[in-house]
Every structure is written in structure tokens, then in C-alpha cells.
Amino acid sequence: MKYIVVTGGVISGLGKGITTSSLGKILQSRGLKITAIKIDPYLNYDAGTMNPYQHGEVFVLEDGGEVDLDLGNYERFLDVDLTSEHNITTGKVYLTVIERERKGEYLGKTVQIIPHITEEIKRRIKRIAMDTMANVVMVEVGGTVGDIESMPFLEAMRQLRMEEGEKNVFFVHTTLVPTMEVVGEQKTKPTQHSVKELRSLGIQPDMIVGRSKEMLSEETRRKISLFCDVPYEAVVSAPDAKSIYEVPLIFEKQGVGDYIMGKMQLWGERPDWKEWKKYLENLYNPKYEITIGIVGKYVHLRDSYISHREAFTHAASHLRTRINLRWIDSENVEEKGTELLEGMDAILIPGGFGIRGTEGKIMAARYARENGIPFLGVCFGFQMAVIEFARHVLGYEDAYSTELARTEHPVIDLLPEQRSVDKLGGTMRLGAQKIVIEKGSMAHSIYKSEIIYERHRHRYEVNPDYIEEFESRGLHFSGVDETGMRMEIFELKGHPFFMGSQFHPEFKSRPLRPSPLHMALVKAALKFRRDKENKPS
């Protein structure tokens, strides 16, 4: 078993997740089987109950795990499906240890951070290595070195190296190398300090990845090498890149892949980047351009809707289209009206929770429906579009979701199995679920299959009592669950593209296998734009 442990210093938000994914990718390109683990040193059991404003999007896995968004990056870069076991949190580790203690399994011993917590951390990591049979397990330690929370994890990683041997555990430390604007000089002091901190914990990095605006200069690399006791070739530049998907190639150019292979005594094939390069080339050379409005509540934090952003990046390359995303706060739509949506070639309403901003989302759905603008509603967005239709087409003015308020016309209602649920964490309808698609429908032409699996995260659904009415007025449910009772996809008859999905197609989008619904929305937007431009004014 081989492990690459990625730590971070100086500040958070250095793109450690992208570094981890990219290092994994360059090894994978040599024919190795790679998997990845994210350690989150917080006490929450998982990310499910966390506000997207604090940590960005909650990513959902096939098995229903609600996890850190970095697992989304691993899945997208490596094109693998991970499980919730791949996100290790302090909450999970401590819960296991405390439960074991309550069962008396420690036989009267004093239960301590060292060795009991550190053993449990290593056990979880080694189990993944065994279960996945990966050649290399990437382990990203969240937070920055020096945080109290991450101490037990770093100690466990130190022990791992001791137990598994130097060739089998490779430490990569990512740091910030700021440039003093006036003099244009790259500063290595923060890196020196954070490596010192890391070494005080008994970990000597094997490689340092310096995040900086430009490539690290020779002098900077030499300095870091000298002060941090890392070979010159192992001081790597991670400059700002046009696309995150270019980072593996930037590393490859610096010989990072061969260096790690050599140090870890790994053998593989010659890397083949043909498809990946083609993907980037198409992304960087668009022939068309569109603008999509994303109407949501968490638009002020860049990472709240990261999977949608990535899904559109994937579609952008495949459709040779520059996609401008306009992030529109649904509360602003409420206040200022739908003028904010003018000029959009498509509108997307993503998932969400709670009442704030819902009227703005309903206005946006109506605007798209009445003006023939391509529209996709995802999860909460799907539900908002259904409410809008019930209000303005079926004529139920008070139509609403019981998540938000009591109403005479609860067109969106709690899933039956949710009625007895009283805990918040991990209790939604989660993960991959089977969806049956009607032959000949728009959904069918998009997915080209009658059975699909997509990822879910919801408590509410379309109230079955209203289905007949919706259908009679043209809101057609072309995708349902296995029982036929649960509505999964709608498409509006007579509208060029007005669709919604109760599931989240964005979570399964990969660079070389983009989300079918995002692709379809972009295609519809391209047509919308073309028609608009060709219309004589």
C-alpha cells in the first residue's frame, strides 16, 4: 500500500483539493489505480448539516454520503465514484472510539488520543486502501498545519509513515508564496515558517507545492529547497491557472509525476494526456457564447454551487461554448423584479432550503416559462417551478411547499417516509436512486436511456394528488421513481426547453462525461441565442 499525504500551510483556500486531485491524476495517467480521502478535522459527523455559506456546497455521493466539496473535485478529476468512508471527520473518529469504549471493548484501559484516536484514524485509511485495492491512496488533511483540530490527524500520518516505511508514504506540503507587488519579489518566509511547524510535529515534507501568481523563480525554489530541506526538483510551482483542469499538466511539465514515481518506487505506463489536452483545448477555444443566469440564495460565496459551475465548464468544452454564469440573488429578484434576468440565454434555479428568497425563484421560473427562455430547475428549483405552475396556470394562488408554510394547496409535500423522522443529520432521501424515463420524451432524448441513476438530497416531493391536474395542463412528468409515485423529471409541453429534476445532475458531471441535463440546457440556450440574433428587429 502506498499513500500520498497532502497537508497545507500558511492559509486555507490554497487549492489543496486541486493539488491532491492533480497529483492523483498524474499517477492515474500512468495506469495506476488511484483513490482519495479527505480528512476534515471538524467535529461535525459529516457536512450534511453544514451551511453552504460556511464551507461551500455539500457534495452528495452515490451512497448518499453528504461530504466535503473536495470529494467532488476528486471524483471529477479521477472519474471515480467514492463512498462516504472517504471523508473522515473528527466526529466520525470520536464517535467510533466512544461507542467502542461504551461497549467495554477497551478492557478497562484509559482511552486516549494517542494511541486510540490515532489508531482509529489509521484503521480507516488502511481499510480504504484494502477495500479499493488502489495502488496509491491520496490523503488530504484539511485545515492548516498548526490548527489544534488537525493535530491528532497529523500525528496519525507521522505514525503511518513509520509503520508503512519511507517509500510508501510521501508527504506533500502546499503553501502560499506571496509576491510583494512593489518589488515583484516572491516571499518564502511564510513557507519556511509553516514547514518548521510541520517538522516540529515530526513530519518532514518530501515535496513542497508553492501557490503563487506566477511560476516560482529559480531563486525562490533554491531558497525553499535550502531552508526547508527539500530537494530542488521537489519544490513545485502551482501558479494561477486558467482552468483547474490544467493543473495536472502544469505539474507534469515540471516532472512531478516521474519524481514521485521514482521516490515511491512505483512502475507504470507512459502517461497519455491526449483526451485531457483535447478537453482543455476545446475549453480554451470556444466558437460560441451564451450567458446563463443562476438564481439562488447562496450566490455570494463562490463555492456554494461549485458542482453546477463545474458541470457548465464540462459542457462548455464539449459544446465549444464560452458560458458566462451570472449569479443572481433571488432576494434581489424579489426587490427589483425580473429585469435582472433580461439578456439571459437560459436560467437555472439550483437546490436550496428554507423560505428566504423563494418568491424571487418563483418569479424567475415564471419569467422563463412565459418568455420561452430555456430553464432548468434542480431539486428546490424543480419544486419552485412546480409551485409557480400551480399558482399561475392551475390557478391555486396559495400553492406552496409544506417545507415553507402551511397552505390549502400543498403541491410540494413531505415524502411519506419523512413524517416520522426527527433528526436532521443524514435523514433526507439521499444518494443515487433509480429513475424510469418515458420513451419518446425529451428526457429520453437527452439521457438516451430508459433507466438512469442520479443523486438525490431532499425531504419534499411533488404531491401525488395534483399530478393529474399538472399533466392535463401540459406539465408532463417524464421521469419517475420505480414505484411511479415519485416525480423525478418534468418537461413543459409547448415550451422550447422548460425542465426540472428532483435530483442533482451536477454531482455526476465529469470533464469527459458531462451532465446530460446541463448539456441540454446549454444546447437550448445556444438555439435561443441564435434565434434571437436572427430575428429581424
Active site residues: 379, 504, 506
Tell me if 144 sits within 8 A of 198, measured CB to CB: no
In this complex, which beta carbon is closest to ligand GLN, that of residue 352 or of residue 505? Answer: 352
In this complex, which beta carbon is closest to ligand GLN, that of residue 59 or of residue 245? Answer: 59
Name the residue among 219, 283, 209, 311 with its Cα closest to residue 250: 209
List the one residue from 42, 460, 490, 503 that touches ligand GLN (CB under 6 A): 460
Backbone angles phi, psi at 497, to 5 degrees: -160, 95
Q: Rounded to whole angstroms, how far apart are CA atoms 84 and 145?
A: 24
Size of residue set near ligand GLN by CB under 6 A: 10
In this complex, which beta carbon is closest to ligand GLN, that of residue 45 or of residue 353? Answer: 353
Name the residue among 84, 83, 148, 94 with its Cα closest to residue 121: 94
In this complex, which beta carbon is closest to ligand GLN, that of residue 418 or of residue 441? Answer: 418
Q: What is the DSSP letter of 245?
A: G
Sheet arrangement for strand 475-480: 321-329, 288-296, 346-349, 375-378, 498-501, 487-492, 475-480, 429-437, 451-458
Q: How far is the CB of 381 from ligand GLN (least distance, A)?
A: 7
Q: Rounded to whole angstroms, how far apart are CA atoms 100 and 119?
A: 13
Q: What is the DSSP letter of 247?
A: H
In this complex, which beta carbon is closest to ligand GLN, that of residue 322 or of residue 459? Answer: 459
Burial class (CB in 10 A: 0-12, 13-18, 19+), 182: exposed
Q: How far is the CB of 396 from ligand GLN (least distance, A)?
A: 19
* Subset of 400-459 contacting ligand GLN (CB under 6 A): 403, 457-459
Tell me if 526 sits within 8 A of 321, measured CB to CB: yes
Tell me if 141 sits within 8 A of 6, measured CB to CB: yes
Q: Give Cα 528 distance to the centre of its chain.
A: 29
In this complex, which beta carbon is closest to ligand GLN, that of residue 160 or of residue 435? Answer: 435
Tell me if 520 sits within 8 A of 497, measured CB to CB: yes
Note whether 36 binds ligand GLN by CB under 6 A: no
Q: How far is the CB of 450 from ligand GLN (least distance, A)?
A: 25
Give the Cβ contact number of residue 464 at 10 Å: 13
Give the Cβ contact number of residue 177 at 10 Å: 28
In this complex, which beta carbon is closest to ligand GLN, that of residue 500 or of residue 514? Answer: 500
Give the Cβ contact number of residue 259 at 10 Å: 18
Grid coordinates representing 124 are: 480507516
Q: Which residue is nearest to ligand GLN (CB)?
A: 351
Grid coordinates representing 8 are: 497545507
Query: The cell 480528512 sits on which residue?
Result: 39
Query: The cell 497529483 sits on which residue?
Result: 23
Q: How far is the CB of 469 from ligand GLN (least distance, A)?
A: 21
Q: How far is the CB of 500 from ligand GLN (least distance, A)?
A: 11
Note whether 288 binds ligand GLN by CB under 6 A: no
Note whether 490 binds ligand GLN by CB under 6 A: no
Q: How far is the CB of 348 from ligand GLN (least distance, A)?
A: 13
In this complex, which beta carbon is closest to ligand GLN, that of residue 256 or of residue 386? Answer: 386
Report the alpha-carbon angle 517-523-526, nearest 5: 145
Q: How far is the CB of 355 from ligand GLN (least distance, A)?
A: 10
* Subset of 343-362 contacting ligand GLN (CB under 6 A): 351-353
* Subset of 367-406 contacting ligand GLN (CB under 6 A): 379-380, 403
Q: How far is the CB of 482 from ligand GLN (least distance, A)?
A: 19
Q: Rounded to whole angstroms, how far apart are CA atoms 282 and 514?
A: 14
Q: Rounded to whole angstroms, how far apart are CA atoms 292 and 319?
A: 15
Q: Rounded to whole angstroms, how far apart are CA atoms 384 and 251?
A: 44
- Which residues, including other chains, have CB under 8 Å from residue 459's CB and lie 6 or more apart? 403, 414, 415, 418, 421, 427, 428, 429
Q: How far is the CB of 400 from ligand GLN (least distance, A)?
A: 13
In this complex, which beta carbon is closest to ligand GLN, that of residue 28 or of residue 433? Answer: 433
Q: How far is the CB of 379 from ligand GLN (least distance, A)?
A: 3
Q: What is the DSSP letter of 449?
A: S
Q: Rounded to whole angstroms, how far apart are CA atoms 120 and 143?
A: 20
In this complex, which beta carbon is closest to ligand GLN, that of residue 75 or of residue 403? Answer: 403
Query: The cell 399533466 sits on which residue?
Result: 471
Which residues lie near ligand GLN (CB under 6 A)?
351-353, 379-380, 403, 457-460
